[in-house]
């Protein structure tokens, strides 16, 4: 028997997310980090709406909301002139969380405290020395303080150890990419000016050829007048452009990342004097650095029993706050699959699906951020413009459009949207994010719950919509059989619920039948999912729809769940 089920290497936000989710699923897990203590720097600060949904599912979002501040939008200036109205980062009311900012050290503290609730602490300073993967286990050598070494065996190893990942190197994974010209400067400061609170500011200067030769991005952070500044280093001006949004931090720009001795307030003030749209005074320098940025993407996310996530798998320019958020979602995607594999419940396709699902996501993020860095243009979206529809642009930046249509675990959309009577379901297709909705009221509670409340259990969820033909009689019996057989196929790791329409009388179905019933009192489930009477929706532990069936039939659900469960 292995000494540990899963060893997580690296205790940044990605490794901490992976470890916390593994522990929530009941997996024996250790997490090690080579640093003696967490770094006290802001680094990655952007928190996207989809990541807040992930932390909601993990049971962490309340703590994050108490510490973070809203990121309301962006002001854009080109050659000192404002570009139209401020770009607001607004989302429809059905999206529960906004864009936010939070220093990375706070994110790591909250995740570390969350992990400790499962009885697991980060082991520091402990460095990975070697890792050798065998068919049945992984041999690992760790070095602790005072040259103390430890040999152990793990069933799986997850490398969250950054752009210079030893796990990736020992797994033999390619990490192709290139450096971008120019060097960024970043600083954590206070700025006294009259720009509106909660808005970031992007100001660029263009040369005679229209190319950007100077730039400044300022992102609001928690604290009075506190901002994260990203600039071009003197002498490198004109080499690159920051497209849209917030820098992730130097740890996300790793191709030969070079940290200088840092900046002083005079250097930073000089940039503000050149590019700020009005009078601005910088003070209270907490931290600064200068670094090169580039892009790389691993060729595979898995090599046998070794996996990589976060910066160990993908690095790219620090644009739009995409780096940390993509890595956190890597970890969230992988953890439930590893947990099922550890318990002997998953097919091998489940572990392979990690690469099939997350590699295209990282490819899109890398390509988009590199394109926005190299392209000299206004990054503000407009209908029909180069950035596309404004609402879709904001949803993409929020990572709400991430989906897995080609995953081996997902029912094909052609099959998943069609019904035997020729109707076609709208709402989220298989592979897409499962949207939240409010106003669900059960038989035994006088208060409503959100759908996301039902998705916090670390298991699959089956939602069955009961209209007039399925609240009683043979229709209700068939849905009850669907729930029974689905639970059996999922080895009990599935919760089933019956959703009834808002205009369905509460006594329209006999009391006491299973599964539990929730009334869609506000019609939000119907609006979000567009369910047909008797339709079933299967949602995975990571909050993505894996299948839709109309009409729901036990044998179809069992066959679909067989893609995941042995």
Give the 3-state DSSP-derived string for 536-555, with helices as H, strands as E and coil as C. Answer: EEEECCCCEEEEEECCCCHH
Task: Give the model's confidence band at 258: pLDDT under 50 very low, under 70 low, under 90 confident, else very high.
Answer: very low
Q: How many whole angstroms separate alpha carbon 75 and alpha carbon 245?
A: 10
> Mean pLDDT: which of 260-269, 311-320, 441-450, 550-559 is highest?
550-559
Judge whether residue 140 has pLDDT over 60: yes
Judge whether residue 387 has pLDDT over 60: no
Q: 71 in helix, strand or coil? A: coil
pLDDT the model gives residue 512: 58
Give CA 294 to chain center in angstroms: 21
pLDDT the model gives residue 239: 40
Q: What is the DSSP letter of 146?
A: G
- Which of 266, 336, 308, 49 has the alpha carbon at shortest distance from 164? 308
Q: Taking residues 208-212, report their average pLDDT.
A: 73
pLDDT the model gives residue 238: 42
Which helix H or strand E contains 369, and what residues bound it? helix 348-374
Q: How many whole angstroms separate alpha carbon 9 and alpha carbon 162?
A: 9
> What is the percent of the chain where pLDDT is above 90?
68
Q: Which has the minimum average pLDDT: 30-39, 196-205, 364-373? A: 364-373
pLDDT the model gives residue 367: 87
Judge whether residue 240 has pLDDT over 50: no
pLDDT the model gives residue 255: 34
- Which of 227, 315, 245, 309 has the alpha carbon at shortest distance from 99? 245
Task: Give the model's confidence band at 252: pLDDT under 50 very low, under 70 low, under 90 confident, else very high.
Answer: very low
Q: 556 in helix, strand or coil? A: helix
Q: How many whole angstroms separate alpha carbon 549 and alpha carbon 535?
A: 6
> What Cα–Cα distance (Å) separates residue 133 from each residue in 106, 139, 167, 497?
34, 6, 10, 42
Q: CB count, 10 Å around CB of 409? A: 24
pLDDT the model gives residue 251: 36
Judge whether residue 394 has pLDDT over 80: yes
| The model's pTM | 0.91
Q: 237 in helix, strand or coil? A: coil
Could you give all domains of the chain from N- to C-terminal order, each with its CATH number? 4-64+103-175+296-397 (3.50.50.60), 177-294 (3.30.9.10), 413-561 (3.40.30.10)
Task: Give the model's confidence band at 237: pLDDT under 50 very low, under 70 low, under 90 confident, else very high.
Answer: very low
pLDDT the model gives residue 225: 95
Over the stretch 400-426, which tens digit does the pLDDT of each residue have? 999 999 999 999 877 654 444 445 458
**Going by C-beta distance under 8 Å and a sequence separation of 6 or more, which residues neighbour residue 518?**
440, 441, 442, 449, 497, 498, 499, 500
Over the stretch 61-117, which tens digit does the pLDDT of each residue have? 999 999 999 999 999 898 888 887 788 899 999 999 999 999 999 999 999 999 999
Please answer whether residues 295 and 100 qualify as being in contact, where contact means their C-beta atoms are separated by less than 8 angstroms.
no
Average pLDDT, the chain: 88
- Which of 429, 158, 195, 174 has the alpha carbon at shortest distance from 310? 158
Judge whether residue 456 has pLDDT over 50: yes
Q: Greater confidence, 446 or 293?
A: 446
pLDDT the model gives residue 319: 73
Which helix H or strand E contains 390, and what residues bound it? helix 390-397
Task: Give the model's confidence band at 389: pLDDT under 50 very low, under 70 low, under 90 confident, else very high.
Answer: confident
Q: How many whole angstroms separate alpha carbon 135 and alpha carbon 74?
A: 51
Q: Which has the minimum average pLDDT: 77-86, 244-253, 481-490? A: 244-253
- Which of 168, 140, 166 has the alpha carbon at shortest distance from 6? 140
pLDDT the model gives residue 504: 73
pLDDT the model gives residue 422: 47
Strand-pair partners of 536:
464, 549
pLDDT the model gives residue 514: 72
Q: How many whole angstroms separate alpha carbon 357 and alpha carbon 362?
A: 9
**Going by C-beta distance under 8 Å and a sequence separation of 6 or more, which residues neighbour residue 428?**
434, 435, 528, 529, 545
pLDDT the model gives residue 419: 46
> What is the percent of the chain where pLDDT is above 70?
88
Q: Greater confidence, 213 or 128?
A: 128
Q: Taking residues 29-34, report their average pLDDT.
A: 98
Judge whether residue 250 has pLDDT over 70: no
pLDDT the model gives residue 293: 77
Over the stretch 460-478, which tens digit does the pLDDT of each residue have? 999 999 988 888 888 889 9
């Amino acid at each position: 028997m292995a000494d540990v089920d899963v060893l997580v290497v690296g205790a940044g936000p990605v490794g901490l997310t992976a470890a916390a989710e593994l522990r929530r699923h009941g997996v024996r897990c250790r997490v090690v980090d080579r640093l003696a203590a967490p770094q006290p720097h802001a680094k990655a600060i952007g928190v996207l709406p989809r990541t807040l949904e992930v932390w909601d599912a993990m049971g962490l979002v309340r703590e994050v909301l108490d510490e973070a501040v809203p990121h309301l939008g962006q002001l854009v200036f080109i050659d000192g002139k404002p570009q139209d109205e401020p770009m607001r980062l607004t989302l429809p009311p059905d999206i529960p969380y906004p864009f936010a900012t939070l220093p990375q050290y706070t994110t790591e503290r909250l995740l570390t405290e969350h992990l400790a609730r499962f009885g697991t602490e980060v082991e520091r300073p402990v460095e990975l020395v070697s890792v050798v993967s065998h068919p049945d286990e992984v041999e690992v050598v760790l070095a602790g303080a005072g040259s103390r070494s430890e040999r152990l065996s793990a069933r799986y190893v997850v490398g969250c150890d950054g752009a210079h990942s030893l796990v990736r190197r020992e797994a033999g994974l390619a990490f192709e990419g290139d450096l971008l010209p120019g060097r960024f400067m970043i600083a954590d400061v206070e700025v006294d000016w009259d720009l509106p609170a909660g808005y970031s500011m992007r100001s660029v200067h263009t040369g005679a050829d229209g190319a950007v030769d100077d730039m400044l991005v300022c992102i609001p952070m928690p604290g009075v007048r506190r901002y994260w500044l990203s600039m071009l280093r003197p002498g490198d001006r004109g080499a690159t452009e920051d497209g849209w949004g917030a820098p992730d931090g130097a740890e996300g720009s790793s191709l030969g990342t070079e940290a200088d001795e840092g900046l002083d307030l005079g250097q930073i003030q000089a940039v503000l004097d050149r590019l700020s749209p009005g009078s601005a005074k910088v003070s209270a320098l907490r931290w600064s650095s200068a670094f090169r940025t580039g892009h790389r993407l691993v060729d595979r996310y898995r090599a046998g029993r070794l996996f990589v996530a976060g910066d160990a798998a993908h690095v790219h320019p620090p644009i739009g706050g995409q780096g940390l958020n993509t890595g956190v979602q890597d970890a969230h995607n992988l953890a439930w699959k590893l947990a099922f594999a550890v318990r002997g419940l998953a097919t091998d396709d489940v572990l392979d699906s990690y690469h099939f699902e997350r590699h295209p996501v990282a490819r899109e993020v890398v390509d988009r951020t590199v394109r926005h860095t190299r392209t000299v243009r206004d990054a503000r979206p407009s209908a029909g413009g180069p950035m596309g529809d404004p609402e879709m642009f904001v949803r993409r930046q929020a990572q709400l459009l991430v989906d897995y249509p080609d995953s081996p675990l997902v029912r094909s959309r052609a099959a998943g949207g069609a019904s035997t009577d020729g109707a076609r379901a709208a709402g989220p297709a298989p592979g897409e994010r499962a949207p939240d909705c409010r106003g669900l009221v059960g038989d035994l509670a006088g208060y409503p719950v959100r759908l996301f409340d039902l998705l916090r259990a670390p298991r699959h969820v089956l939602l069955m919509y009961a209209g007039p033909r399925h609240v009683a009689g043979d229709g209700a019996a068939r849905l009850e059989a669907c729930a029974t057989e689905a639970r059996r196929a999922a080895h009990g790791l599935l919760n089933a619920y019956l959703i009834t329409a808002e205009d369905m009388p509460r006594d329209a179905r006999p009391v006491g039948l299973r599964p539990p019933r929730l009334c869609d009192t506000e019609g939000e489930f119907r609006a979000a999912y567009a369910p047909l009477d008797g339709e079933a929706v299967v949602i995975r532990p990571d909050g993505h729809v894996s299948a839709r069936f109309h009409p729901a039939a036990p044998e179809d659900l069992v066959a679909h769940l067989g893609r995941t469960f042995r």
